[in-house]
Amino acid sequence: MISTDIKNFGILGYPVGHSLSPQMYRAAFTAAGFPNYNYIPLEVPAGKLYFAVEGLKSLDFRGVNVTIPHKTSIMRYLDAIDSDAMVIGAVNTVVNDGGILTGYNTDVSGFLAALAEANFLPDDCHAVILGAGGAARAILWALCKRRAEFITIGARNPQKANALANDFLNYGSVEGFDWNSEEFKEMIQTADILINTTPLGMFPEVDDMPPIDLKLLPEGALIYDIIYNPAETKLLRLAKEMGFPTLNGLSMLLLQGKEAFRLYTGQVPDLKLMKKALEKSLKLK
């Protein structure tokens, strides 16, 4: 007999083979007493997104996480978008309430919760963000919401850094720079936190790092790399050797997943178990 309390979830992207989400959510569902909740990778090429979203409704999926390249393009197929996702222009979680699809962006709360766990108060800080892509947008919005005093964006492409800064001028004091410029080198000398949102240093290119002279940063600045594979990037290793406090991307990944789980089930997941599942699947990669 088919159980009626089966619910389906998944990660929608292209590709999705590398994703750690299936292991993380399956562990959390089982621990929360939902053995009939399935979580599957949904590999959907860009041209098929509309049909995939219609399929989620037809097959009564309860929710999906969304990853590259669909975070922005999926928005046009949803019925409602929450306010964070609307400002950022990207959705990473979709919840299906009886055929009504609502999009959320849990990177915002995941990032802020990770900072809180590291005892870093973003209010009134000078934050430096490296990179101007999707994760940078979510982090920039999170910092504006928490009233960071000033946010400096440094990127290899200054046009993109400026465009991102301009999009958020109504929400805070934000400026974009070429990360090789003298102005940027001057700016980072007053940073309270430096956040790498580029993939430089991510597995397998573990010898890469953003072109930052850590010697320019003030003592005690938090060096935060949102990469989680490897757990210690070259940037974090050098920063640690120089005595800076450091933080990697695992807690943000975990805590954005916690928020998505809450949206899916109305419950708080067992974070220890989710973390264990994440670390186990990272070791297998």
Decide if 48 is catalytic.
Answer: no
Residues in a beta bridge with 20: none
Binding of ligand NAP by 202 (CB under 6 A): yes
Instruction: Please work out the total of residues on this chain that contact ligand NAP, with binding judged by CB under 6 A.
Output: 24
Measured CA to CA, the distance from residue 135 to residue 190 in angstroms comes to 23
Measured CA to CA, the distance from residue 274 to residue 29 in angstroms comes to 9
Q: State whether residue 151 is helix, strand or coil.
A: strand
Binding of ligand NAP by 23 (CB under 6 A): no
Binding of ligand NAP by 11 (CB under 6 A): no
Measured CA to CA, the distance from residue 166 to residue 160 in angstroms comes to 10
Select from 13, 22, 134, 154 the one that contacts ligand NAP (CB under 6 A).
Answer: 134
Segment near ligand NAP (CB under 6 A), from 24-32, 97-105, 121-129, 133-141?
133-141
Select from 21, 197, 233, 265 the one that contacts ligand NAP (CB under 6 A).
Answer: 197
Q: Between residue 138 and residue 157, which ones bind ligand NAP under the rule CB under 6 A?
A: 155-157
Binding of ligand NAP by 172 (CB under 6 A): no
Which position has the token pair 């989400």? 21
Sign of CA dihedral 193, 268, 49, 79: negative
Select from 152, 162, 198, 233 the one that contacts ligand NAP (CB under 6 A).
Answer: 198
Measured CA to CA, the distance from residue 205 to residue 209 in angstroms comes to 9
Binding of ligand NAP by 230 (CB under 6 A): no
Question: Which sequence positions are flagged as catalytic?
Answer: 71
